[in-house]
Amino acid sequence: MGNIRITKQFNFETGHALYGYDGKCRNVHGHSYKLSVTVIGTPITDTSHVKLGMVIDFGDLKKIVKEEIVDVFDHATVFNKNTPHVELAKELEDRGHKVILADYQPTSECMVIDFAAKIKARLPENIQLHSLKLQETETSFAEWFAADN
pLDDT tens series, the chain, 149 aa:
699 999 999 999 999 999 999 999 999 999 999 999 999 999 999 999 999 999 999 999 999 999 999 999 999 999 999 999 899 999 999 999 999 999 999 999 999 999 999 999 999 999 999 999 999 999 999 999 999 99
- Which one-letter DSSP state was computed for residue 58? H
Active site residues per annotation: 25, 75, 136
Residue 85 among known ligand-binding residues: no
Residue 97 among known ligand-binding residues: no
3-class state of residue 89 by DSSP: helix
pLDDT score at 97: 97
pLDDT score at 1: 66
Q: How far is the C-alpha of 85 from the C-alpha of 41, rounded, in Å? A: 41
pTM of the model: 0.95
Residue 130 among known ligand-binding residues: no
User: In b/e form, how buried is each residue of 24-35, taking b as 16+ CB within 10 angstroms?
Assistant: eeeeeeebebbb
